Chains A and B, each alone.
Chain A
């Protein structure tokens, strides 16, 4: 009997131990669960909850147990849910508002399972509560991002439309532009050309678009065009003849944005009409000058004869008048000669006959010829001879003489009394450099660009000397360039001007 009792006692103790272990297991699982789990009585009172729900609700377990379910959840919805659970044992994914302590309401998803006893009576509910706030927040953020993306897309679309519109406008400008335009990309491929370009070059754009510069250089009708580039894409108003009836002005424009080079543009401007007018003008000037020169020469010789007394004696007063008339006539002849020179230059008839000359002695002679004039003007004219003898150069003495004459004339004319005019020569590389420096009135900066243009006279020059054709420097430039030299200058108002020109040292042409 005692042994029986002992056995029963041992069995009870084992059962108790197992029960304890089971309780520990259930408790640990309940505490561990990251999902909020609650047990609710059939009357809707919290009987038990786990730490996950404490976190979600911000209430302690002590505060939760014993409270009505309506304290924590949206009253209306929870009422409907409990009603639903009268007829069914499970409710899934019910979205409901939860009211945490001292916090804003949050959205949760509830899963409910009805708990029944052995007799099948409802003894409560298990609630699994899933916090949707983070998901909702993410959803909100996704929506915001989606809206932002849609806005960006909308903006992009608007910008695309704008760009499209701009492109259409640009295309319209290009197509309808009165000059011929050829657009090249940064790979030097022709991307578009307008109707005017097609007309001027007598080509069809369809056949040329997409071709590279090299390919275009092999097509007869575009070969000339490519030649103008000479590997340079910075060309401004360079003339070239397509044929006898068509002269074009060729310019290039680099298409650069802030960050990159997107290609370049060739602008073809038809200057045929301007060239004809220019030619007619030159012809007119040439004919007029020729026609004027004959009577002017006759006047000159008649006056000379009168002054020399070949036609009888004259009074001193008469001589003075005749002298003045003679000088005016000389100026007129000089002007007419200059006009003829310009005409010849423009018509390409300014013939050069270069011969080897000692340029140093030539300059020295010319400067010497101006000594008296300088003295009369009280100007200190000086020629600084090079220390070493300079080699002879191939020059047309007459034409270079014309250039020296014009430069010396200008230097003396526009330097006030007491000033200096210094002429010097030196060898620079394979060139001889001529320099004439004066302390004259100078040329204002804003007029520098036009100095070598026909009929240019600076503001100060007009004020100081009413006479002067404005053709001298145009002739000088053409003469120097015809000899393969270059001319440049520096000038400041009231400080003076310095002109340089170079002549290449060549012994034969």
Chain B
């Protein structure tokens, strides 16, 4: 049964862990580009209504903020701007392109193996909770399966993460038609979320 928005907000505000300010800065950049400064104000107003003191311009890229705010930022954009999942996905594609952390890690992009070796660290750059594990990787079959473990992934953030991984794949792995889809974790674990990135 789908939770009410109030319940979702409450749950998110109580989530444990922290997320890097870069998430919010990228969200703000995209909202301003698409809807202008007024759009951003609407989102901030929505967050304020939910009791979230999130002010995008005062946040810093590399500082840590409550992890629940990550999803609340997306939820507020959906609500205040009438956005759908498609818009949220685009915003996360943009986040992947504009992310300072991705830029820092771009020095490992010269080799897929090298990058995948560094990928768990990359996750840690973004969140203080959860971990990223490369479950499978095949250059010949052109896919990689990534597991995000010990992480409460809600329905708002899941498509965002999917798009983020897809764009990161496009950036790092030479090929075309990169596609990221949710797969089950094996063995099945609580709070484990699998993503399969494939390309041609």
Note all chain A residues with C-beta closer than 8 A to B63. 16, 20
Note all chain B residues with C-beta closer than 8 A to A48. 97, 103, 106
Complex partner residue of B174 from A20, A44, A65, CB under 8 angstroms = A44
* Binary B-proximity of A215-238 (CB < 8 A = 1, otherwise 0): 000000000000000000000000
Let me know if A280 is at the binding interface, CB within 8 A.
no
Complex partner residue of A65 from B61, B110, B167, CB under 8 angstroms = B167
User: Which residues of B (61-83) have their CB < 8 Å from a CB of A?
Assistant: 61-63
Complex partner residue of B106 from A19, A20, A67, A123, CB under 8 angstroms = A123
A124 adjacent to B171 (CB under 8 Å): no
Chain B binder among A35-43, A79-87, A284-292, A327-335: A35-43
Let me know if A61 is at the binding interface, CB within 8 A.
yes
Let me know if A45 is at the binding interface, CB within 8 A.
yes
Let me know if A380 is at the binding interface, CB within 8 A.
no
Closest CB-CB distance, B110 to chain A, in whole Å? Answer: 4
Let me know if B94 is at the binding interface, CB within 8 A.
yes
B109 adjacent to A42 (CB under 8 Å): yes
A66 adjacent to B110 (CB under 8 Å): no
* Beta-carbon nearest neighbor of A115 in chain B: B107
B62 adjacent to A23 (CB under 8 Å): yes
Roughly how many angstroms separate A270 CA and B172 CA in the complex, as a whole number?
105
Closest CB-CB distance, A86 to chain B, in whole Å? Answer: 13
Roughly how many angstroms separate A44 CA and B109 CA in the complex, as a whole number?
11
Let me know if B98 is at the binding interface, CB within 8 A.
yes
- Output the residue of B94, B97, B107 with the most chain A CB within 10 A: B97
Given A23-B100, A45-B170, A45-B172, do A121 and B110 touch, yes or no (CB 8 Å)?
A: yes
Note all chain A residues with C-beta closer than 8 A to B8. none
Given A41-B106, A123-B109, A123-B110, do A62 and B90 touch, yes or no (CB 8 Å)?
A: yes
Note all chain B residues with C-beta closer than 8 A to A42. 109-111
Question: Per DSSP, are chain B's interface residues mostly helix, strand or loop, or mixed?
Answer: helix
Note all chain A residues with C-beta closer than 8 A to B98. 61
User: Which residues of B (169-185) have their CB < 8 Å from a CB of A?
Assistant: 170-174, 178
Closest CB-CB distance, B115 to chain A, in whole Å? Answer: 10
Roughly how many angstroms separate A46 CA and B97 CA in the complex, as a whole number?
10
Let me know if A17 is at the binding interface, CB within 8 A.
yes
Closest CB-CB distance, B198 to chain A, in whole Å? Answer: 15
Closest CB-CB distance, B22 to chain A, in whole Å? Answer: 9
Let me know if A68 is at the binding interface, CB within 8 A.
yes
B60 adjacent to A117 (CB under 8 Å): no
Let me know if B93 is at the binding interface, CB within 8 A.
yes
Count residues on chain B whose CB falls below 8 Å from chain A CBs. 26
Complex partner residue of B110 from A19, A46, A68, A124, CB under 8 angstroms = A124
Note all chain A residues with C-beta closer than 8 A to B172. 41, 45
* Binary B-proximity of A420-453 (CB < 8 A = 1, otherwise 0): 0000000000000000000000000000000000
Roughly how many angstroms separate A20 CA and B94 CA in the complex, as a whole number?
20
Let me know if A122 is at the binding interface, CB within 8 A.
yes
User: Which residues of B (96-131) have their CB < 8 Å from a CB of A?
Assistant: 96-98, 100, 102-103, 106-111
Note all chain A residues with C-beta closer than 8 A to B167. 65-66
* Beta-carbon nearest neighbor of B30 in chain A: A62
Roughly how many angstroms separate A124 CA and B109 CA in the complex, as a whole number?
8
Let me know if A47 is at the binding interface, CB within 8 A.
yes
Given A20-B60, A23-B62, A47-B103, do A41 and B110 touch, yes or no (CB 8 Å)?
A: yes
User: Which residues of B (156-192) have their CB < 8 Å from a CB of A?
Assistant: 167, 170-174, 178
**How many cross-chain pairs have Cβ atoms below 8 Å apart between A and B?**
73
User: Which residues of A (1-22) have their CB < 8 Å from a CB of B?
Assistant: 16-17, 19-20
Count residues on chain A whose CB falls below 8 Å from chain B CBs. 26
A124 adjacent to B106 (CB under 8 Å): yes
Closest CB-CB distance, A16 to chain B, in whole Å? Answer: 5
Closest CB-CB distance, A254 to chain B, in whole Å? Answer: 79
Question: Per DSSP, are chain A's interface residues mostly helix, strand or loop, or mixed?
Answer: mixed
- Output the residue of A41, A65, A66, A123 with the most chain B CB within 10 A: A66
Closest CB-CB distance, B166 to chain A, in whole Å? Answer: 9
* Beta-carbon nearest neighbor of B104 in chain A: A23
* Beta-carbon nearest neighbor of A44 in chain B: B174
A45 adjacent to B107 (CB under 8 Å): no
Note all chain B residues with C-beta closer than 8 A to A121. 110
* Beta-carbon nearest neighbor of A118 in chain B: B107
Complex partner residue of A41 from B96, B97, B171, CB under 8 angstroms = B171
* Beta-carbon nearest neighbor of B22 in chain A: A23
* Beta-carbon nearest neighbor of A27 in chain B: B100
A123 adjacent to B107 (CB under 8 Å): yes
Note all chain B residues with C-beta closer than 8 A to A122. 110
Closest CB-CB distance, B105 to chain A, in whole Å? Answer: 10
Complex partner residue of B60 from A17, A45, A115, CB under 8 angstroms = A17
Closest CB-CB distance, A8 to chain B, in whole Å? Answer: 16
B106 adjacent to A45 (CB under 8 Å): no
Note all chain A residues with C-beta closer than 8 A to B100. 23
B94 adjacent to A43 (CB under 8 Å): no
A65 adjacent to B171 (CB under 8 Å): yes
Closest CB-CB distance, B111 to chain A, in whole Å? Answer: 8
Note all chain A residues with C-beta closer than 8 A to B60. 16-17, 20
Note all chain A residues with C-beta closer than 8 A to B62. 16, 19-20, 23
Beyond the given A41-B106, A117-B107, A121-B110, could you list 14 further A-B residue pairs with CB under 8 A, ordered by the A residue number?
A17-B60, A20-B63, A39-B106, A41-B110, A41-B172, A45-B109, A45-B170, A45-B171, A45-B174, A48-B106, A62-B93, A65-B167, A68-B174, A123-B110
The 8 closest A-B pairs by CB, nearest first: A66-B170, A65-B97, A42-B110, A43-B174, A123-B107, A41-B109, A20-B60, A123-B110
Q: Which residues of B pack against A, CB within 8 Å?
A: 60-63, 90, 93-94, 96-98, 100, 102-103, 106-111, 167, 170-174, 178
Q: Which residues of A pack against B, CB within 8 Å?
A: 16-17, 19-20, 23, 39, 41-48, 61-62, 65-68, 115, 117, 121-124
Listed by A's residue number, 29 A-B pairs whose Cβ atoms lie within 8 Å are: A17-B60, A23-B61, A23-B62, A39-B103, A39-B106, A41-B110, A41-B172, A42-B111, A43-B109, A43-B110, A45-B109, A45-B170, A47-B103, A47-B109, A47-B171, A48-B103, A48-B106, A61-B97, A62-B90, A62-B93, A65-B170, A66-B171, A66-B178, A117-B107, A122-B110, A123-B107, A123-B109, A124-B106, A124-B109
